[in-house]
Structure 1
Amino acid sequence: MPDAPRKQLPDRVRALLDDLDSTSGTAIGEAAALLLESIEGDGIVHVAGAGHSLAMVCETFYRAGGLAAVRPIWDAGVLPLDDALRSTRVERQAGIGRAVAEAAAPAPPDVAVVFSTSGRNPYPVEVAEACAARGVPVIAVTSARASRGAAARTATSLADHAAIVLDTRVPPGDALHPAAAPRTAAVSTILAAYAWARVLADLDDLASARGVELPRWTSANVPGGDEVNAALLERYRHRVPELTGG
């Protein structure tokens, strides 16, 4: 039947979402608790990724419903939009991730969240390693399956430097279709975004139970949104220079 292939992909995506829930459900709750502890202590959440994992950095930063206490830490070289080949070279180059983390200067009670599906390139590994060395706990959003199947370009993996690991269950190579020989329909962004949304939902539940008001962006396209966001901008602009280009 001609419709069968189209029906198979949604089923496989849903199966991976269920797998993520069962594998990382406890870690998601732990990540939410760690973030709430940081926010209650007036900490900043430093978020990093390279290549297409930068999509998740965008997902966490200045996002409707997202935390205002988020700072993206990154090197322009890892952005693939204006020089894709360069972004691959930079992600694999030793020293850049460490320099990015050191320039951001995270310190307790801050938290770092590092997105990398394979977690085996120097850039995300160094960011995590440098943050952990500064006493800042790292939440790694990565895939154990993809990491095992990836070329090892560092002696350690992202997960090795993390206090909490959210396993997204992305298969090696990322592609999901067709089932017999996957070559298209990458799923890493879907799974990582879902994992982050679950963290935010658990964080909201924890904060509500404790009577904590989270610093959270409101959509600028709803009435009153600009006013809410203006107060948050004033609160965080000096600690998150990326909010105003400063």
Structure 2
Amino acid sequence: MKAMYQKVFEEGYAVVKKIQETQEDAIKQCARLIADAYISNHTFFVSGSGHSHTVSEEFYGRAGGLAFTVPILTSELTMTEHPTKSSYIEKLSGYAEILCELYHIQEGDVVLIASNSGRNAYPVELAQCAKEKGAKVVAITSVAHSSATTSRAKSKQKLMDIADVVIDNCGVLGDACLKMEGMDTLMMPTSSIANAFIVQAVSVLSAQYIMEAGKEAPVFVSLNGHADQSVNDELYRKYTRLY
């Protein structure tokens, strides 16, 4: 068991290191798009379905996070109500177009879409709709996984085929990477680890580029420390979308 304990950390470190070494340009391009959108009074959206919806939560509403992020985070895309509901919804053609209209995605905006496989209708059609509106699209996906599977979207495209910037989370086909003796199924999906690091790199660099342009980067503070809640309250009043 001790060997497996070490293996878990080795695999986790390895994927983060690979991202650091291979995805710098893509992460910087993404951060530049987000910063430029903010500076020019456009909107930064982020979305994902299934476990990839956590990318939206990693960006939004947390200490150290960019306050101007707008998550497309409907319950249908998450796992809060039923473990397989989002798996059905993300395969439905037309749902992404509805959200694209409801959230008023438009020219000059940036839409970051997380999907490990990038093959289902929701991420593909959200990317297509956003591009048609004139927005820039960023994908966080597993290039290895996506390349090894066929598209389930009507267009037969995958998310990485449409995005202006593709950030590879460097995961393997199937996401899980750890083989245990006596078990046929692999364990330890790496996308959650990888995506969290990618989000933080993108967020920090976006803030850097915003400040280099002479603007203030609005960032949430922790309400469980000694910070005044009024800081976050003001940011929510300024940036949170109301429907």
1:102 aligns with: 101
- Letter of the structure 2 residue corresponding to residue 161 of structure 1: I
**2: CA distance, partners of 1:221 / 1:190:** 24
SS at match of 1:217: coil
Deviations 1:2-55 (CA, angstroms, capped at 9, x unpaired): 422221221122111111122211111111111110111122211110011111
**CA spacing shift, 1:21–1:108, aligned 2, 3 Å:** same
Q: CA deviation at 1:182?
A: 6.0
The runs of 5 or more residues in structure 1 that have no matched partner are none
Is residue 2:178 matched to residue 1:177?
yes
2:211 aligns with: 208
The runs of 5 or more residues in structure 2 that have no matched partner are none
2:237 aligns with: 234
* Identical columns (%): 27
Q: State the TM-score, normalized to the length of structure 2.
A: 0.92
**CA spacing shift, 1:227–1:141, aligned 2, 3 Å:** same
- Letter of the structure 2 residue corresponding to residue 184 of structure 1: M
2:194 aligns with: 191
1:80-229 equivalent positions in 2, closer than 5 A: 80-154=79-153, 155-178=156-179, 183-229=186-232
Point out the more displaced range, 79-88 or 27-36.
79-88
**CA spacing shift, 1:190–1:38, aligned 2, 3 Å:** same
Q: CA deviation at 1:223?
A: 3.0
CA contact (8 A) 1:5 1:178 kept: no
Q: CA deviation at 1:206?
A: 2.3
The alignment's C-alpha RMSD in Å is 1.8
Q: CA deviation at 1:151?
A: 4.2
- Letter of the structure 2 residue corresponding to residue 177 of structure 1: L
CA contact (8 A) 1:53 1:115 kept: yes
- Letter of the structure 1 residue corresponding to residue 219 of structure 2: R
Q: CA deviation at 1:179?
A: 7.1
Q: State the TM-score, normalized to the length of structure 1.
A: 0.90
Number of paired residues?
A: 239
